[in-house]
Structure 1
Amino acid sequence: MSAQREMKEKNPWHTPATIIITVIFVIAIVALVTVAVLQNKPLPPKYKYGIVLDAGSSHTALYIYEWPAEKDNNTGRVEQTHSCKVKGPGISSYASSPLKAGESLKVCLQEAEQWVPNKRHQETPLYLGATAGMRLLNMENSLASDQVFQAVAATLQKSPFSFQGARILSGQEEGAYGWVTVNYLDDRLTQGLETTGALDLGGASTQISFVSSSYDGSESPSNSVSFRLYGNNYNLYTHSFLCYGKDQVLRLALAHLSQSGQSTVEDPCFHPNFTESKNYSVLYDSPCVSDRKPHGAPVAFTHKGTGNFSLCQQVLKNVFNFSHCPYSQCSFNGVFQPDLQGTFGAFSAYYFVMNFLNLTDTAIPLETVKEKLATYCSTPWPQITQQHKDVKLKYLAEYCFSGTYILTLLTEGYNFNSDSYSNIRFIKKIKGSDAGWTLGYMLNLTNMIPAEAPDTPPLPYAGYVSIVTIIALVLVIIFALCLYRFWPRCPKQPQII
């Protein structure tokens, strides 16, 4: 017993000092890991919000965006959280009753109040951008345009949000912001990848925007927009064709067919057996066609469909001017366009029309697309209405025309061929956000895209915690080995005979 007591007293692990030092060391290591984890633990995210109203020619839509508040400067990813389609036509349609333009927005604004937290209302920027419909109204009647904006602004100023103004976007802005949206959502800007071109089709205008290595902006500088985003320079070609949205082109095509002022107009862009009475004054009530109204025409005419895709294409080619090009190469109407390059995202009416026709699959060859569209256009109108009872007749009647126009615009206007057509993706949303100019517009106005790439931590959170934990464990092991190696060992227990 005395030998065991003597051995215990000589064992350094049983001395109070050693025990205290060991406990303190272990506590210090645990504290180190705990502090590292807690200090760097991601906090529950707080968000900021932005609202953009897209006042298009045919309708208005409200979009709500959010991004992490703690990453407000340059690093927070902006995402769409909600959208609301305003009932009724576009605000340009309220030229004769401007107050109704403002009233039409109230329901969607009230909806936005429910989606944005109350404590964020006053700091949430609210923008309204008007596009080709208001451009045309401003050209035709600037006083009416001003009155519509006054009515809209009065309604938006009464909302709890921070109203930042309502204005008409230029065609160049609309095209450029659409390009920013598509590439931002696809993470091509942050990663410095090859960008995607943007094809936008609305009711009154259409835009094409892309980066081409053959275009430096020196030829036709008015079509050049330069960006420096996330440390990369982009020289963007962009052009907007006013009056070449699908609704205005329909007027242009009918104006071409009704030049003689006849009482019956046969139209190959509408299904066989389709008939509708149209008013000449209503048809020509647009700056795009007002100067073409035939003299001595009757009050109305019968619009009669014949359903022929090839003849429809011939009619639509007449709305383009391919005879004059003052540059090395052009798209149409004497507008310069560089060589097409890369992939393209086609959105807005491009998507909705081609989706209805089941022609959004990029694997379908161009010739097959034409064949399917030709078959669809030749289908009698009564059969079409039976197959699509849930679609409004106004929209249903125009899909043959709209599909043919899209193919004509892409192939004859923008020079896509059988090979490059497969580079077009028809898209509605990208990662949950609608493709369109609104997100790019808000990103620009809120400075959410930096010119230079933001600094990022060298390690992600999980990697950082793992490394700290591993180092702490290594230190414990080394400490234990040192104690075992250098402290005097216990003498062997004497044998008892």
Structure 2
Amino acid sequence: MKVPKVAYVFVLFVCILIYVYQKRPFQRTQNGLGFIIQAALGQSVPQDFYGIMFDAGSTGTRIHVFKFTKLPNESPKLAHETFKALKPGLSAYSDEPHLATKGIQDLLDVAKESIPRNLWASTPLVLKATAGLRLLPGVKAQQLLDKVKEVFQLSPFLVTNDCVSIMDGTDEGISAWITVNFLMDSLHGEERNTTGILDLGGGSTQITFLPHNEITLQTSPVNYITSIQMFNSTYTVYSHSYLGFGLMSARLAILGGTEGRPSEEGQELVSSCLSPDYKAEWKHAEIVYNVKGQKSGEPIYDSCYARVEKILYRKVHKPEEVGSLSFYAFSYYYDRAVDVGLIGEEKGGTLKVEDYGKAARHVCQSMESESTDKPFLCMDLVYITVLLEELGFQKDAVLKLARKINGVESSWALGATFHYIDSLQRN
């Protein structure tokens, strides 16, 4: 019996399909057989996939559920983000790690509601902790991570051995840089018209940018320069994280306290950055300190500025070219600018570095004659002013401040999710 030619074609197609299916296990897991069939038939059908990133910061835990869409031979596009935050941060449960699990489970329920059930098993689930856990004793931090991992392993999502970890500060800065430039579509093409990022958290602060001057690469500390691959391109970036120089940790240093060490009984931390008549309890990293203001004999702004300068003296590297580059600033840079009306709370805006200084002087001066419901605002604004100056920014340098770019949270989470999914593909 003569076999029709169409039968030969069909058998050949099935053989090719089976071969492709066996050779691409990650794509089988992430995309499903339907997409591979459509791709084999030459159809440009969008592929949807998801990633879940938990950002375990010093003051809270946030979940980001990212939905991506990808056409064959094109880079992924972000289609949607679901975001929710809970307080306090994981470090608040350092003595009772089992209490952290409820909040983690609540956030996992958000992911279940956001992702189609048939894609749960193929969606990577990751938690990365930042400065809050970096500052904890190693044993306590690990106990918290182990509890989170137990919850993750009981979830219906894709969980690997490294799904829960403490994020290196430099990786945090690089991931934030990827996020911003991905959202601005600056990672494609030859011009590389990228923007730098400044992130001021509670326990650490990061700076990351793509150097334009060879002298920056030659004169910077070796561990401040790193190369990353993204979208088939290699980027050599300047990035560093200063642990202990986040805004809350800086407050403690300015007050004269030591990270992780309670004050002696009856001891008060005194600072001229506070109103002279101020006296209260202040909680940082689950330790309660007694703090009070001090009249120094000179204006609050001047004495506070001198104190902060001493704290930061020779502690921060100054890459000279930052003043000529474009930068986005986030987190407490944003929050404190909102507090003094420099930008709108919802839309953000732009400002000059000197605007922080002017606001600091005004707030500090007003504290000399009237009470305030934001006793640390003077200290915080002075610290931000001096920090930016120490990082090399001139007073007239312009910063862009945003919580979201094109409707997406401008944190490191998106960049870290890309990196994680990429590592799964490579392995």
Using the size of structure 2 for normalisation, the TM-score is 0.76
Q: Which stretches in structure 2 are left out of the alignment for 5+ residues?
A: 1-40
Partners of 1:283 and 1:41 in 2: CA distance? 56
User: CA 1:175–1:250 in structure 2 vs 1: closer, same or farther (change >3 Å)?
Assistant: same
- SS of alignment partner, residue 77 of structure 2: coil
- Is 2:131 the counterpart of 1:132? yes
Higher strand share: 2
How far apart, in 2, do the equivalents of 1:283 and 1:67 lie?
Answer: 38
Q: Which residue of 1 aligns with 2:178?
A: 180
Structure 1 residue 342: Cα displacement: 1.1
Taking structure 1 as reference, are residues 271 and 101 closer, same or farther at Cα in structure 2, changes over 3 Å only? same
Displacement of 1:359: 2.1
Q: Distance in 2 between matches of 1:79 and 1:133?
A: 31
SS in 1 for 2:312: coil
1:155 counterpart = 2:151 = yes
Number of aligned residues: 369
2:408 corresponds to 1:433? yes
Indicate if the aligned counterparts of 1:275 and 1:305 stay in contact, CA closer than 8 A: no
Partner residue of 2:279?
275
So what's the TM-score if we normalise by structure 1?
A: 0.66
Give the deviation of 1:346 after TM superposition: 0.7
**Residue 49 of structure 2: SS of its match in structure 1?**
strand
Greater relative contact order, per chain length (Cα 8 Å cut-off, separation 6+)? 1
Q: Following TM superposition, by how much is the alpha carbon of 1:304 offset from its aligned partner in structure 2, in angstroms? A: 2.6
- Identical positions, percent: 26
Which structure has the larger Rg over C-alpha atoms?
Answer: 1
Give the aligned partner of residue 325 of structure 1.
none
Tell me the CA shift for residue 183 of structure 1: 0.9
Q: Which residue of 2 aligns with 1:349?
A: 332
Query: Which residue number in structure 1 is paired with residue 63 of structure 2?
Result: 62
| 1:41–1:235 CA distance, 2 compared to 1 (3 A) | closer
TM-aligned CA deviation for residue 128 of structure 1: 0.5
Partner in structure 2 of residue 339 of structure 1: 321
The one of 345, 348, 366 equivalent to 1:379 is: 366
Structure-2 change in CA distance of 1:132 and 1:365 (3 Å): closer
Paired amino acid for 1:150:
D
Change in CA separation of 1:441 and 1:263 when aligned onto 2, cut-off 3 Å: closer
- Pairing partner for 1:400 from 368, 371, 378: 378
Gaps of 5+ in 1: 1-38, 287-298, 323-331, 386-395, 452-497
Aligned to 2:250: 249
Give yes or no for contact 1:272–1:379 (8 Å, CA) kept in 2: no
Cα distance in 2 for residues equivalent to 1:142 and 1:356: 35
Letter in 1 for 2:342: L
Kindly report the root-mean-square deviation, in angstroms, between the aligned alpha carbons of the 2 structures: 3.4
1:286-344 Cα deviation digits (max 9, x unpaired): 8xxxxxxxxxxxx974513768223222111121232xxxxxxxxx35x4745324111
Q: Secondary structure at the match of 2:256?
A: helix
Aligned to 1:100: 99
One-letter code aligned to 2:184: D
With over 3 angstroms needed to count, the CA separation of the structure-2 counterparts of 1:80 and 1:224, relative to structure 1, is: farther
CA contact (8 A) 1:123 1:162 kept: yes
| Partners of 1:205 and 1:265 in 2: CA distance | 22
Look up the match of 1:417.
Answer: 394
Letter in 2 for 1:435: S
**Does the 8 Å contact 1:255/1:284 carry over to 2?**
no
Alignment of 1:76-475 (within 5 A): 76-86=76-86, 88-137=87-136, 141-164=137-160, 165-192=163-190, 193-212=192-211, 213=213, 214-216=215-217, 219-255=220-256, 266-271=270-275, 273-277=277-281, 301-304=290-293, 308-322=300-314, 332=315, 335=317, 337=319, 339-340=321-322, 341-360=324-343, 364-380=351-367, 384-385=372-373, 396-411=374-389, 413-419=390-396, 421-422=397-398, 424-447=399-422
Q: 1:245, 1:308 → 2: CA distance?
A: 22
Bigger shift: residues 426-435 or 397-406 = 397-406
